[in-house]
């Protein structure tokens, strides 16, 4: 599991194994748009302020993945203990 800090919502949430960031956001009343939920469409994109991402989507370019400023919340996860998201 890892933690997500929501910078604009002043919340810290835990994302357990087996749940997506998108799942956890919705369970906590954060309304995120999504469509494919397979990492392909880009709808669930969220800004990353701090932390390392394991990108599991096929939407972002290699350059964007290396930059690490965005995450697809339906499939991708943290490589670090904590991500600070621009939500």
Site membership for ligand FES, residue 74 (CB under 6 A):
yes
The residue (of 10 and 71) whose beta carbon lies closer to ligand FES is: 71
Task: Return the number of the residue (5 or 37) whose C-beta is nearest ligand FES.
Answer: 37
Q: Exactly one of 46, 53, 59, 78 binds ligand FES (CB under 6 A); which one?
A: 59
- Which one of 10-18, 37-45, 48-56, 77-85 is the stretch in contact with ligand FES (CB under 6 A)? 37-45
Backbone angles phi, psi at 27, to 5 degrees: -60, -25
Buried b (16+ CB within 10 A) or exposed e, 11-30: eebebeeeebbbbbbeeeeb
CA dist 21 and 85 (Å) reads 11
């Amino acid at each position: 599991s890892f933690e997500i800090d929501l910078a604009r919502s002043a919340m810290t949430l835990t994302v357990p194994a087996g749940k997506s960031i998108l799942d956890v956001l919705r369970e906590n009343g954060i309304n995120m748009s999504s469509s494919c939920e397979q990492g392909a469409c880009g709808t669930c994109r969220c800004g990353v302020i701090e932390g390392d991402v394991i990108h599991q989507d096929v939407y972002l370019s290699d350059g964007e993945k290396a930059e690490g400023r965005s995450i697809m919340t339906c499939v991708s996860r943290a490589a670090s203990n904590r991500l600070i998201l621009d939500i």
